[in-house]
Amino acid sequence: MSTLEIVANSLVHVAALLSVAAMFFKSQLLLRVFLLAGTVLNAVYFFAVPPEVLWGPVFWSVVMFGVNGVMIALLLLDRSVFGLNADEIELYRSFSFFSPGEYRRLMRIARWHTAEATELLTWRNAPVTQLSYVISGEISISKDGVRFTVPAGTFIGEVALLRGTLASATVTVAPGARYVSWDREALSALMARRPAIGIALGALLNADLAGKVAAEAPRRAPGALALA
């Protein structure tokens, strides 16, 4: 038996070994890459080695190659910021709990705003219809007769979202402020469809809330911390 024949007849065994090796990977990407390589070798074997081409196995090898190739592309897309614009990529730095894919889905239902005048984000003891993240501009908070400002880079409406309560403070942003908002119902529907997004958002909102408490506790009057 020639060396070429030995190599040809070994293809099916190498393909099987690659498929078995794939099962040892926890990473979906590596698992699928190894399965893809095994599928290619199987297709080559069934096409070139038997006296006549085995079109049935070749066909199904091609189908498996196509499905696996698509899934690998989706996995890679989920790990990249491809398709995000410059503003979304910049904002992503503040959403570290999200994978790029989860963040991309979240931004599909987001609305971008630039305040032309003083804009009301929440009204105390009223239902909160949206979650907002203020990117830049002055945020004014009023609660229990106390009014103060907080820096941008914070969520507004997160307590109502997390606890299902009414707004605990009246919050406005100054003219020129830039912020992003998510409709509460659309956001709830997205989190129901994609639990991983709900987990990431919950972690992010809790971190934001903890930061507010730490920043305000040393200087606020009792009850003055405004968390809408």
- For the chain, the structural domain boundaries read 3-78, 86-216
> Do residues 148 and 172 make contact, with C-beta atoms less than 8 angstroms apart?
no
* CATH code for the part of the protein at 86-216: 2.60.120.10
Show the beta-strand stretches assigned E in the chain: 110-114, 119-122, 130-136, 139-143, 146-150, 154-156, 170-173, 178-183
Cα separations in angstroms, 212 against 158, 194, 223: 11, 27, 13
Residue ranges of the chain whose pLDDT lies below 70: 1-2, 4, 215-228
Question: What does the pLDDT look like over 98-117, one tens digit per residue?
Answer: 999 999 999 999 999 999 99
Segment holding 187, helix H or strand E:
helix 184-193
**Which residues are CB-contacts of 50 (< 8 A; sequence separation ≥ 6)?**
none
> Do residues 149 and 138 make contact, with C-beta atoms less than 8 angstroms apart?
yes
pTM of the model: 0.77
Question: What does the pLDDT look like over 6-44, one tens digit per residue?
Answer: 777 788 889 999 999 999 999 999 999 999 999 999 999
Pairing mode, if any, of strands 146-150 and 139-143?
antiparallel
